[in-house]
Every structure is written in C-alpha cells, then in structure tokens.
C-alpha cells in the first residue's frame, strides 16, 4: 500500500489526529500534491502552537505557490519556535527564507 493511501485511511478513521494528518501531508508533498497537503498542514498548524515543522512546510508550500504574504507569518512564527527550541539548522534556513522575502537580515 502506498503512503498516501495508508495515511488517508488513518485520517479517515481519526480525522483529528494531527500526527496522521502530518504524515499524510508529507506523503502528498512528496507526490507534488501541494493543494491537498495544504489542508492537512493547516490542520497541524492550528492543532499545536509550538509545532515548528508544519509551519515551515506550509510556508514553503505557499512560497512555491507565489503566496508570499501568506507564507511570511508562518515562517516568522516558525523562526521564533526554532530560536526558542534551539533548532539551529531550521533557524538558519528560516532566516535565509525571510531575508529573501526582504523581511529580516540573515
């Protein structure tokens, strides 16, 4: 069974389970199905205020879709989480992304 089908089934049975939704979103992103992944990433972002990775993935998805104004606050939130949680590599990546958006210095 492919990952999308597997996690779709789990989400159908437990639609509020953010870990299943996150896994489904990752599988959808891997298949280039960004619009479908966006729904699940938004659920994850709403479910946990301190969950950095869904914010990064959703922000990058929105950047690819030329929706920088929507991406910026997610990436800014993710940066604050990366700093507060001492995640150096994501912090550096987020600073670069935001600098490219003309928002902060790297």
- Residues 67 and 103 both lie in one domain: yes
Q: Are residues 44 and 54 in the same domain?
A: no
Asked if 55 and 13 sit in the same domain, the reply is no
Structure pTM?
A: 0.92
Name the stretches of the chain with pLDDT < 70: 1, 103-106
Q: Could you tell me which of 55, 69, 49, 50 has the C-alpha nearest to residue 22?
A: 55
**Co-location of 15 and 60 in the same domain:** no
Summarised one tens digit per residue, pLDDT across range 68-91 is 999 999 999 999 999 999 999 999
Structure confidence at residue 105 (pLDDT) = 45
Residues spanned by the domain of 20: 1-48
Same structural domain for residues 62 and 100?
yes
Separation CA 58–CA 74 (nearest Å): 7
d(CA 63, CA 101): 10
Task: Report how many domains make up the chain.
Answer: 2
12 shares its domain with 41: yes
Cβ-contact 79, 91 below 8 angstroms: yes
């Amino acid at each position: 069974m492919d990952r999308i089908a597997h996690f779709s089934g789990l989400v159908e049975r437990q639609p509020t389970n953010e870990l299943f939704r996150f896994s489904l979103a990752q599988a959808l992103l891997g298949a280039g199905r960004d619009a479908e992944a966006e729904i699940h990433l938004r659920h994850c972002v709403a479910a946990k205020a301190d969950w950095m990775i869904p914010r990064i993935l959703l922000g990058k998805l929105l950047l690819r879709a030329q929706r920088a104004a929507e991406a910026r606050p997610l990436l800014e939130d993710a940066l604050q989480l990366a700093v507060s949680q001492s995640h150096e590599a994501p912090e550096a990546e987020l600073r670069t992304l935001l600098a490219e958006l003309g928002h902060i210095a790297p």
